[in-house]
């Protein structure tokens, strides 16, 4: 449940600038000269000429080109198609990345040194609609493949290559999967799950709690969420009177919840703390007291000083 009305979007790399954000979205700035349309079916972006990569598949590539190089926004070149498994639609990609200044060839940023993967790109319908070219390009590739995307500031003064190597792919779940927990306290709301995974709840007069409750309903078998992770979830939220105020099930979307304090839009404290230490595949009942939710402020249809009740399916996780 978001604390602020800002969405969690795919991170290009660690640097938080508007230019870097362009790589995960539609075109930013103006167009420059580029090569003819790509041969990949369904891709309208132009190809970048004169850029090559060398090195072992799946390791940090050495990128070569004649400087200065000017690139069109969203132009691309597949430098290595990869020697691993074919990338599948619906999977989540784990990437390593470089940012290179095309004016002089200097490396501005890299995730390779830290070993920190970016697993924020999920090749689902939402990504396909918002990034149709990138969707087609990624699904054309294989694990250990490398692709470069162009970006510029619209004036020609600054021009960059964002170079991504796909080091792994994984499949998020579509609903909680695991073993139903038997010893759930009888005084908690009762959760019922439909065949498609959507939860419903019976409060049966529940009055809430002044402390955070994080009760596993279904225990999954996947890796455990930790502080610092993003948890990929589907959820529904209710007030104590049983009124539903939000549900990703109704929108047929997932949400990437940061399990850490964020200055750029994070989640309420009850989510940040309550979704840690649960296995992927689990369904979790959260009872969030006001001081770990929205406190004494209204938030949309949620009154001030509300205790919030959530049922959250943890479908995946990444750093």
Instruction: Decide if 294 contacts 237 (C-beta within 8 A).
Output: no
| CB 57 within 8 Å of CB 82 | yes
Read off the pLDDT band of 128 (50, 70, 90).
Answer: very high
Beta bridge partners of 286: 214, 310
Which pTM was predicted?
0.82
Mean pLDDT over each residue of the chain, to the nearest integer:
89
Burial label, 67 (beta-carbon count in 10 A; 0-12, 13-18, 19+): exposed
Model confidence pLDDT, tens digit, residues 281-304: 999 999 999 999 999 999 999 999
Q: Which residue has the higher pLDDT, 32 or 117?
A: 117
pLDDT of residue 3: 58
Per-residue model confidence (pLDDT) at position 190: 98
Percent of the chain with pLDDT over 70: 87
> Residue 101, exposed/middle/buried by CB under 10 A (0-12, 13-18, 19+)?
middle
Of the ranges 4-18, 125-139, 165-179, 272-286, which one carries the lowest mean pLDDT score? 4-18
Tell whether the model's pLDDT for residue 21 goes beyond 60: no
Q: Which pLDDT tens digit goes with each residue over 32-64?
A: 334 444 579 889 999 999 999 999 999 999 999
* Separation between Cα atoms, residue 1 and residue 173, nearest integer Å: 19
- DSSP code at position 267: B
- Could you tell me the pLDDT band of residue 157, with boundaries at 50, 70 and 90? confident
- Structural domains in the chain? 18-170 (3.10.50), 179-318 (3.10.50.40)
Q: Alpha-carbon distance 280 to 231, whole Å?
A: 8
The phi, psi pair for 194, rounded to 5°, reads -70, 170
- The answer to whether residue 146 scores a pLDDT higher than 70 is yes
Among 135, 223, 119, CA closest to 170: 119
């Amino acid at each position: 449940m978001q604390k602020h009305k800002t969405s969690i979007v795919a991170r290009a790399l660690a640097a938080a600038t508007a230019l870097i954000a362009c790589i995960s979205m539609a075109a930013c700035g103006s167009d420059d000269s580029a090569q003819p349309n790509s041969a990949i079916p369904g891709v309208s972006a132009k190809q970048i000429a004169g850029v090559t990569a060398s090195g072992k598949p799946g390791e940090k590539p050495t990128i070569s080109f004649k400087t200065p190089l000017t690139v069109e926004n969203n132009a691309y070149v597949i430098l290595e198609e990869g020697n691993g498994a074919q990338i599948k639609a619906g999977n989540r990609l784990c990437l390593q990345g470089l940012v290179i200044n095309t004016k002089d060839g200097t490396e501005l940023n890299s995730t390779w040194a830290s070993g920190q993967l970016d697993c924020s790109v999920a090749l689902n319908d939402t990504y396909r609609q918002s990034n149709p070219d990138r969707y087609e390009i990624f699904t054309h590739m294989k694990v250990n493949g490398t692709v470069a995307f162009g970006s510029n500031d619209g004036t020609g003064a600054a021009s960059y290559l964002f170079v991504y190597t796909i080091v792994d792919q994984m499949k998020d779940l579509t609903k909680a999967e695991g073993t139903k927990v038997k010893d759930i306290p009888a005084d908690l709301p009762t959760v019922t799950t439909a065949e498609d995974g959507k939860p419903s709840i019976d409060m049966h007069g529940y009055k809430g709690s002044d402390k955070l409750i994080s009760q596993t309903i279904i225990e999954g078998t996947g890796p455990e969420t930790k502080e610092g992770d993003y948890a990929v979830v589907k959820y529904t939220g209710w007030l104590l009177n049983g009124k539903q105020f939000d549900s990703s099930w109704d929108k047929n979307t997932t949400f990437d919840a940061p399990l850490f304090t964020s200055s750029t839009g994070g989640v309420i404290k009850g989510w940040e703390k309550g979704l840690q230490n649960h296995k992927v595949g689990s369904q979790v009942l959260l009872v969030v007291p006001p001081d770990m939710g929205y406190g004494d402020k209204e938030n949309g249809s949620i009154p001030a000083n509300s205790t919030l009740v959530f049922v959250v399916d943890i479908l995946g996780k990444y750093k």
